[in-house]
Amino acid sequence: MEERETIVALATPPGVSALAVIRISGKQAKQIVKKSIKEKEKFEKEKERILGIYGIIDEKGEEIDKVTTIKYLAPKSYTGEEMVEIICHGGIFTINRIVEEIIKNGARCAEKGEFTKRAFLNKKIDIIEAEAINCLINSRNEKESRNALKKINGEHKKVIEKWKNEIIKIIAEVETEIEFGEEIEIENEKEQLKNLEEIEREIDKEIKKRERNQRIEDGIEIIIAGPVNAGKSTLFNKILGFERSITSKHEGTTRDTVSENVIFYGKQIKITDTAGIRKTNNEIEIEGIKRTKKEIEKGNIVIWVTSADEKMSDEERRELININRKIVVINKSDKEIKEKEKEADIGKIQNEYVKISLKEEKSEDVVIKKIKEEIEKILEQYEFTDVVQTKRQDLIIREIKSEIGKVKKHWETKEIASISLNKIIEYFEECLGKIDKEEIYNKVFETFCIGK
Ligand SMILES: Nc1nc2c(ncn2[C@@H]2O[C@H](COP(=O)(O)OP(=O)(O)OP(=O)(O)O)[C@@H](O)[C@H]2O)c(=O)[nH]1
Ligand SMILES: [Mg+2]
């Protein structure tokens, strides 16, 4: 194995904290740290995995911090190499000085994910565990972290192995048929095809789940739409807390879509104000309304703003009926002119609606509350995938699905089917990290943070 340089990085988040952990990994880890330890002999003699308290000194012998260290001997460490972990006090200045000393002593700064990459290269973990570790670090709630842990513990690897073994059995059968031709039992062949289709179904389920999740991951989009002059832009501005869209008493003020990002539930959510819907001959407005309809189609939640003082037009009725997830807001309740009529019309399409007057202060709060409820409902739909967890795995699984399609298509010509079946095995091996594809694996570690 090539000799790798000794690396150092802060493993805890940068910033002020009570304590911080600095990690050093590589053949020279112990010697490099020792140079900055005041009690060199004690450090040298200390057993592995035992905590020791030491002074860290600079080259002039001046003490920088009082720290705790733990030594790990290869291969019994996270990276599989010699390692030292220094638990120091969490001030930015102190941390930087210690890291600088370690670098002066001969280590270099670790790259993103380099510790985990070394663990992978030293076969301490496989690529799927490495990816799951990254997911665990980046998980934002209990559900996500529990799911990542399950993957670190190898639960989904078992599923991939199971699929792979099934395919191996099918290959054995197909190759026997290639060799012995017609003598093969028809029943057996049917059974194999059935198994293949079962794997295809399971893979398909995973892909669909991931697609659904992706829509949530990509960000929820809220569209504010409705008839002209209903107060859409006024509501948009009030939700944002600043005057983003122009509002006026003239109908058709907003001509184009206007978007901004807000944070709800720690997620970035795009909110878009649109051109009001009405019959018009104005070319620009027609284009604006076309855009509104496109936005309505792709939005996850539509806030339909309508005015209490206007009758419902056929155009409005048609649009409203076709929207799935919507929050209906009857605005301008201060005007009260046609309010009852409007409520009756809306009531025919949607049981629940809110009635507000945007002239009143904080009237947008009730709409924001509704938005949060809808977002919660969307987030509840987030289903964890059992197997596919990262983009890399997703791409491989899609390739496998496509190859299964080819196997089915050429089932009668076993020589061709066999080629695709063997490709599927290769893809499974790649997914499990058993095939040497350095570039691809490097990409995995690039998404990690430094110190991991
Ligand atoms: N009386 C009353 N006026 C309101 C209320 N909400 C908004 N307005 C006024 O209604 C007019 C239209 O408001 P906008 O927010 O521009 O309406 P819009 O739906 O964006 O209109 P378009 O962009 O033309 O489709 C403005 O003059 C607002 O000040 C309300 O609750 N009551
Ligand atoms: Mg507007």
For residue 273, the ligand 1 atom closest to its alpha carbon is 20
Residue 181 CA to ligand 1 centre (angstroms): 78
Q: How far apart are CA 67 and CA 55, in angstroms?
A: 6
Condensed to tens digits (0 to 9), the pLDDT of residues 161-174 reads: 999 999 999 998 88
Among 232, 238, 245, 247, the mutation site with the greatest number of ligand 1 atoms within 8 A of its Cβ is 247
Q: What is the structure's pLDDT at 445?
A: 79
Q: What is the structure's pLDDT at 75?
A: 94
Residue 256 CA to ligand 2 centre (angstroms): 9
Q: What is the structure's pLDDT at 346?
A: 86
State residue 193 phi and psi, 5-degree precision. -65, -40
Residue nearest to atom 3 of ligand 1 (CA): 332
Residue nearest to atom 8 of ligand 1 (CA): 231
For residue 226, the ligand 1 atom closest to its alpha carbon is 19
pLDDT per 10-residue tile (average), the chain, 452 residues: 83 87 96 97 95 95 96 95 96 93 96 91 88 82 77 83 92 84 69 94 90 77 96 96 94 95 81 95 94 93 94 90 92 80 83 93 94 86 73 91 96 92 93 75 75 76
Residue 271 CA to ligand 2 centre (angstroms): 14
Report residues whose beta carbon is within 6 angstroms of any ligand 1 atom.
Answer: 228-234, 247-249, 251-254, 276, 331-332, 334-335, 357-359
pTM for the full predicted model? 0.60
Give the 3-state secondary structure of residue 326.
Answer: strand
Residue nearest to atom 17 of ligand 1 (CA): 231
Please count the residues of the chain.
Answer: 452
Residue 234 CA to ligand 2 centre (angstroms): 7
Q: What is the structure's pLDDT at 389?
A: 75
Residue nearest to atom 27 of ligand 1 (CA): 249
Ligand located closest to 232 CA: 1
Q: What is the structure's pLDDT at 354?
A: 94
Q: What is the structure's pLDDT at 107?
A: 96
Which domains can be identified in the chain, with CATH numbers? 7-126 (3.30.1360.120), 142-214+390-433 (1.20.120.430), 220-380 (3.40.50.300)
Please name which of 325, 327, 223, 212 lies closest in space to residue 269, comparing C-alpha atoms. Answer: 223
The β-bridge relationship of strands 258-264 and 301-307 is: unpaired
Token pair for residue 27?
């053949």
